[in-house]
Structures are given as structure tokens and as C-alpha cells.
Structure 1
Amino acid sequence: MAKRFNEENSLQDILKEFIQVNKLDAGMDKIDVEQAWKNLMGNGVNNYTEEVLLKRTTLYVKLSSAVLRNELSYGKDKIIRMINEEMGKEIVKSIVLR
């Protein structure tokens, strides 16, 4: 019969440990960055966003509106700061708008 440990761990702590042990941080960051984009940009931008993809430290965003792409290109540095603040660590260093 298996031993029971008296230590109580929260599910959150167990999942964090599982992610670290299995080196799944990069995959989780990809998912979290996509969600951060949706939260920060709002419905107006999300309606024209077709794809959000993180490769290493570059965020690729495919937009269906050339006008919106041009407008967002002026605020790339601010978008990078906002996403990194939302994530709690520096993940994105550059953005490519397509």
C-alpha cells in the first residue's frame, strides 16, 4: 500500500512543479502570451487579429487590417512593455505585425 504524506500541497503548486520538471515553460508561455494579447488589446483589435504566435522572444501577430497594422506599428514598444508586465516576466522582446 502506498504511503500517505502529511504535507498538503495546493494544486497550483503541484502544477507549477510539474511544468518545471517536464520543461513545459516555453509551451505555456505561448498560450499565456496569446491570452495576454486578447486581454490587453480589447475587442476592437481582436476582431482583426487572425493569429498570435510566439517564437523564442518574437511575437508574430497576423492582422486582417492594414490600417490597424500601421497604427499598432507606432506603439510596438508600449505593447511589448504591456505584455511583459501582464506575463510578470520578460518574454517578448520584439513584435512583427503581418
Structure 2
Amino acid sequence: MAKRQSNESSISEVLQQFIQQNKLETGMDKIDVEQAWKILMGNGVNSYTQEVILKGTTLYVKLTSAVLREELGYGKQKIIAMINEELKREVVKEVVLR
């Protein structure tokens, strides 16, 4: 009798293959970046955040506080580094605060 070949895969591998085959990476990146923003910025910044949108590699954040927008503007590179580190790959290359 011939040996049976095992074609078992973990659920994460199967889901990753599904996402790649159906070209869903960009949609998943949008969700991941929005969640990373909420986790990394905390309640103080999130209370002034209206929208977090990823278009291509640019992250657009709409804030209700001009003072907070100015303050975060000084740390754009740090924000980019923190989000990319959280996602474990380079997704965001630029941040636009509105």
C-alpha cells in the first residue's frame, strides 16, 4: 500500500493563503492600521480622532483638536515607526494629519 501524504496546514496558514489568492491584503491592512492606531495612541488621542484612513501607503488621520494635530505633527516619523513595528511590516510611509 502507498503511504498517505499528509497535507495538514494550520488555520493561520490557510487564512494567509486565502487572503493572498483573493488579493485582500490592502483591505486587511486598512483594518490593521486602524486597530494599531487605537492601541498605540491610547484613550486621550482616540477621543479626538474622527477618522483613520489608509490610502496606499499614506495614513490620513482626521482630528478634532488643532492643538493635538500640531503636537502629533512633530512626531510623524515616530508614529510611522510605531505603527509599522506593531504590524511587523512596512505598511505606512507617510502620515497626514487633518
Q: TM-score, normalised by structure 1?
A: 0.92
Per-residue Cα deviation, 1:9-63 (whole angstroms, up to 9, x for no partner)? 2211111100001111011000000000001000000011000000001000000
- 2:13 is aligned to 13
Q: Which residue of structure 1 aligns with residue 33 of structure 2? A: 33
- 1:6 Cα deviation from its structure 2 partner: 4.1
The secondary structure found in structure 1 opposite 2:91 is: coil
Consecutive unaligned residues of structure 1, counting only runs of 5 or more, are none
CA shift, 1:84, in A, is 0.6
Distance 2:80 2:11 in 1: 31
- Residues of 1 paired with 2:11 and 2:90: CA distance? 25
How many Å separate the matches in 2 of 1:92 and 1:8? 34
Q: Corresponding residue for 1:43?
A: 43
Q: How big is the alpha-carbon RMSD for the aligned residues of Structure 1 and Structure 2?
A: 1.1
Percent identical across equivalent pairs? 69
Give, in angstroms, the shift of residue 71 of structure 1.
0.5
What is the TM-score of this pair, normalised by structure 2? 0.92
